[in-house]
Structure 1
Amino acid sequence: MSRLTRTLLLASSLASGAAAQNGTQGEGLHSLMVAAGKLYFGTAMETNNFDDAAYQAIATNKNEFGMFTPENSQKWEVTEPTQNDFSFTQADSIAERVLSNGQLFRCHTLTWHSQLPPFVANGTWTPETLTAVLTAHITTVMQHYAGQCYAWDVVNEALNEDGSLRSSPFLTTLGEAYIPLSFTIAAQADPSTKLYYNDFNLETTPPKTAAALSLVRAVQSAGAPIHGVGFQAHLNVGQTPSRADLAAILTSFTALGVEVAYTELDIAHVAPALPADEAGNAQQAEDYAAVVGSCLDVEACVGVTVWQFTDRYSWVPSTFPGKGEACLWTEGYEKKVAYERVVGLLREAAVVEGGGGGAGGGAGDGSGSGNGRWGKWVDFFRGKLEYVMFDAYTPRP
């Protein structure tokens, strides 16, 4: 796919989201989220879901989802399994499916301690050689997807629960400077995309939250661009912070001039409360509403992505024995009480936003421009379109 085609698809996706701001266009998670003044409601997807017709019927419904993140296909072990041997087949198939359907693509992830190929994890490095490898990887992957990604998770899960930096080949060889270095390389590789730090338990673990705030400041002080912080929000039923507490945490980051998003949301029932009973499902619904509501309460929170929408493909049971039923749909694709609770919350917020009473109000003109919150993004990509129409962009493999 050429870079021009990629830019056209992303611009179309953004325009579709902005146009939906004038009404719900049917009632689903994404259309109502946009009508409430946000950019998207999204989900994770992988290629193993492609042959499931019931799954795809929901996933491709633009009322339900407007943003997709590949669970594993863009991680280093997949995209560069051996040094300088790049493979994009899996992630390309997701990107084409998503963008051709007029939905947005969120890219994940570049510098991470986990799911590294052996040549990185087990290599013997000097600062010079590892910097060269990191630069080549980030540059090649990001330039391959230039014009496709709303945002990239540039650095993922760099912090331990006590706030210290997590051990990795990058920390061992380059020290903490690997973090701003990654953002600097990423900005040079694709200046048009948002650059995020992404981590889990920022919602529940104060030392880690404080360290993440310091990490953002350190990247900024180093002169590297950082545009957002992703809150993974892998939470447990009955142990989810309140809407007000979550909003306060988000605001502590947006005060630094970055946007925020929930990037991997799921809320698991924990044994012995499995299978969940009526009370457990009601609590899960309130917990989901607290998370989504906190994003609504913070102007610079741009959206929510669930880490799979159905229990059929949830990573939770296999990774965390004794936990499960964490998603908004059952294994049989029935909507849970939590889904209905979130839709009700968003419906109320959309009415307020449509009446001009919500934060960040303002309507577009239906073409994707105007004074709406996301009009500036559509205008940006429209300008980008006008540029590429008159410039020689060569196709990329």
Structure 2
Amino acid sequence: MRSIRFATVALATAALALPLMAGSAAADPSAGRTAAPHSHATSDRLRAAAPEGFVVGTAVAGGGHHLEQDYPDPFTYDREYRKVLARQFSSVSAENQMKWDYIHPERDRYDFGQADAIVEFAKRNKQVVRGHTLLWHSQNPAWLEEGDFSRTELRAILREHITTVVGRYAGRIQQWDVANEIFDDQGNLRTQDNIWIRELGPGIVADAFRWAHKADPRAKLFFNDYNVEGLNAKSDAYYTLIQDLLEQGVPVDGFSVQGHLSTRYGFPGDLKDNLDRFDALGLETAVTELDVRMDLPESGEPTEEQQRKQADYYQRTLEACLAVDGCNSFTIWGFTDKYSWVPVFFEGEGFANVMTDEYERKPAFYALRDTLKEAAREDDCKKHGKHHHRHGKG
């Protein structure tokens, strides 16, 4: 059996204690930036506004495309970023730091430094963690994609990876995206670009869930994808597959919609109906990667109408989740445009998050906060109503 070397968390932990580096925008108070209008009132935090038992999360920026950007690692070096991350959110997801190419860079070596730091940060700040992701066609290391492995070897590699990674964080990660983006938009399995399905067959998906459950029986295990917000061929494919897996006794706990939306397109008005049907299967549901990008004018500044439309998309997505009993996890894919993936991958589009580069809150932020507060008030009213009714009967 090959020996497996684990990178220690020491480097990442030490880096978290470092002063901000000069390359970080937040490090230079004389850079002419407007101070971010932060409120320290508990009622002005998304996590505090939420109804009891409903978590509000964000992706933790780092790894992936950030390595090619002209700033230091956001999570490690930007103190202001970490302050807002802790203050506003009750759930965190690693944007890239738990993906294969980052956490398993060589066959016999794992690098848990950043993932460990995120999980420890969450513990200190009373946040839950979503693990992302275990089986995916993208962001796999070259050693895996270009290796000459037999089916037996490949299956053993996946099983060992899932057992090792999920086992390391057993009891500390609330939900795992076990299988990510396994269907194309027509509802066909990715039999060509997904190495696991291509080489091992569709049954490997069920095995991944079984292995993850064995490694951490308490974690909730999810399918996760984009363009499945509404009722369409792709979400239908998941609905059919999950029914089949549940009948086989495969431990599938949830279905999540990513929610990478654009104001170019209409809002998926059947989002609640779609979540409802998965809820009816007994699954938990979640929104896991919400952002709302837009085409920016030449000035780079969005119009008031664009900001209003963006806020509406954020609000309607949250309202749909809140309206479904089993949708208790709502995650936006980053909170500041300073570290957004959108301009890197969608040329000409941007302004997708709820805060600007300077952490100023957009209408979308207030739309989320106010919607959460209203939902919390309604929950309180229902509880008080039941309480008074019980006493009346006595």
Bin the TM-score by the shorter chain: 0.7 to 0.9
Secondary structure in 2 matching 1:140 = helix
Specify the alignment match of 1:160 in structure 2: 184
Could you tell me which of 357, 372, 377 is aligned with 1:346? 372
Question: How far apart are residue 192 of structure 1 and its match?
Answer: 1.3
Match of 1:267 in 2: 292
Q: Are 1:328 and 1:338, in contact at CA under 8 Å, matched by a contact in 2?
A: yes
Q: Where does structure 2 lack aligned partners over 5 or more consecutive residues?
A: 1-40, 63-72, 388-394
After TM superposition, give the deviation of residue 143 of structure 1 in Å: 0.9
Aligned to 1:228: 254
Query: Hey, what does 2:339 align to over in structure 1?
Result: 313
Pick closer, same or farther for the CA change 1:130–1:294 going to 2, 3 Å.
same
Alpha-carbon distance, 1:239 to partner: 2.7
C-alpha separation in 1, matches of 2:321 and 2:220: 18
Out of 279, 285, 298, the position equivalent to 2:305 is: 279
- 1:40 is aligned to 2:61: no
Counterparts of 2:248 and 2:136 in 1: how far apart (Å)? 20
136, 147, 161: which one pairs with 1:112? 136
1:192 counterpart residue number: 218
Partner of 2:281: 256
Aligned 8 A contact 2:226 2:257 in 1? yes
**What is the Cα deviation at residue 270 of structure 1?**
2.3
Counterpart among 218, 234, 245 of residue 219 in structure 1: 245
For 1:177, give the aligned amino acid. G
Identify the match of residue 293 of structure 1 among 315, 319, 322.
Answer: 319
- Structure 1, unaligned runs of 5 or more: 1-23, 364-397
Structure 2: how far apart are the matches of 1:221 and 1:270? 44
8 Å CA contact 1:284–1:338 kept in 2: the answer is: yes
In 2, Cα distance between the equivalents of 1:190 and 1:70?
Answer: 18
Deviations 1:57-111 (A, max 9, x none): 21111xx200000111111112211112122011111111111221111111111
2:117 partner letter: S
Q: Hey, what's the Cα distance between the residues in 1 that align with 2:383 and 2:318?
A: 18
Q: Is the 8 A contact 1:251 1:298 kept in 2?
A: yes
Q: Report which stretch shifted further, 297-306 or 210-219.
A: 210-219
* Partner Cα distance (2:164, 2:329) in 1: 28
One-letter code of the match for 2:133? T
CA–CA separation in structure 2 for the residues paired with 1:129 and 1:362: 58
- Contact 1:106–1:149 (CA under 8 A) maintained in structure 2: yes
Q: Give, as a single letter, the amino acid of the residue that structure 1 aligns with 2:125.
A: N
| Equivalent residue in structure 2 for 1:144, among 168, 171, 182 | 168
CA contact (8 A) 2:354 2:362 kept: yes
Kept in 1: contact 2:259–2:288 (CA 8 A): yes
1:182 to 196, 208, 218: 208
Q: Identity of paired residues, percent?
A: 35
CA-CA distance at 1:121 after TM superposition: 0.9
Matched with 2:9 is none
CA distance in 2: counterparts of 1:297 and 1:284, whole angstroms? 20
Q: Whole-Å Cα distance in 2 between the matches of residues 271 and 335 of structure 1?
A: 18
Cα contact 1:270–1:322 (8 A) shared by 2: yes
1:92 is aligned to: 116
Distance in 2 separating the partners of 1:156 and 1:300: 20
Q: Using the alignment, how far apart are the partners of 2:161 and 2:234 within structure 1?
A: 28
Change (3 A) 1:43 1:218: same
Give, in angstroms, the shift of residue 240 of structure 1.
4.5
Q: 1:215 is paired with a residue of what secondary structure?
A: helix
Identify which of 50, 68, 71 aligns with 2:95: 71
Q: TM-score, normalised by structure 1?
A: 0.80
Residues 204 and 318 of structure 1: is their aligned pair in 2 closer, same or farther, counting only changes over 3 Å? farther
The question of whether the paired residues in 2 share the 8 Å contact of 1:235 and 1:267 is answered with yes
Larger Rg: 2
